Amino acid sequence: MADSSSDETHRPVVAIVDDDDLFRESLEQNLTESGFEVVAFGDGPAALGYLSRADRVDLVLLDWKMSPMSGIELLRRLRQDGTGVPVIFLTVLSEQIYEEAALIGGAVDFVEKSRSFTILLKRIDLILSGPKAVASAPAREQPPALLRHGDLALDADANRAHWKGRRVALSRSEFIIVSHLVRRNGRDVGYRELYDLVRGSGFAAGAGLEGYRGNVRTFVRRIRQKFRDIDDDFDEIENFAGFGYRWRGLGE
């Protein structure tokens, strides 16, 4: 959680975009009391104008159903303009089709408004702080910041990936998944393990097993497409039906 005692200039900046005045004001108050600096907007055009020129916004909490610009349209405009700020959809829409559309569009998370503020705060912390080391893992040396595997180069310090010398525009969550698969190349990695990397252990998506599996499939589908935009023959990520994925080992 953000440290409310830290200097004002170092507090994480969260933008709220929601046309429900009561909900927006309540969320703004809760976030402020939790140590965040908050800017809030009641519609997409106002938020777009601010975010396109803001010096620093660390995270956007975005409603879907707004007028005259929907949340998914605002997200598209941000990505088209090159704004890479992490976006969490915070909405009453619960159907998996909306979650998949949000993730494909470049959001990092999708949270129903019915979830408690504690859950939302945990997800915000996970996104702002990055993946946590598994507590039960034995002590070991830190993996190298620069990892090379065949035609792939991963720079962990910058969260950047290059395939055959060309930049692959992965989001942070996508980079985390690719890095995890590559470090375990040739071994199968389960859906749940991949889901927990970017969502945090214990969270659920949708109903039952298919909830988090569908979430991971969406991430992997988008990752594959980004590599294939560079290389039509890319096929390094294999699916083990019913279990998960693996990155091909060298020579396979």
Q: What pLDDT shows up at residue 194? A: 86
- Residue 135 clears pLDDT 50, i.e. is over it: no
* 3-class secondary structure, 201: coil
At 159-208, the pLDDT tens digits run: 789 999 999 988 878 888 999 999 888 889 988 888 877 766 555 554 44
Q: Are 99 and 90 in contact (CB under 8 A)?
A: no
| Domains observed in the chain | 8-129 (3.40.50.2300), 146-247 (1.10.10.10)
Q: What pLDDT shows up at residue 137? A: 34
Q: What pLDDT shows up at residue 227? A: 95
Q: What pLDDT shows up at residue 2? A: 47
- Residue 44 clears pLDDT 90, i.e. is over it: yes
Please work out, in degrees rounded to the nearest 5, the angle formed at the alpha carbon of residue 225 by the alpha carbons of 224 and 230.
100
* 3-class secondary structure, 99: helix
| DSSP structure string for 31-78 | HHHTT-EEEEESSHHHHHHHHTT-S---EEEE-SS-SSS-HHHHHHHH
- Residue 4 clears pLDDT 80, i.e. is over it: no
For the record, the structure tokens of 12 come out as 């994480």
Q: What pLDDT shows up at residue 79? A: 84
- Residue 77 clears pLDDT 70, i.e. is over it: yes
Q: What is the mean pLDDT of residues 58-86?
A: 89
Q: What pLDDT shows up at residue 217? A: 86
- Residue 134 clears pLDDT 70, i.e. is over it: no
Percent pLDDT > 70 in the chain is 83
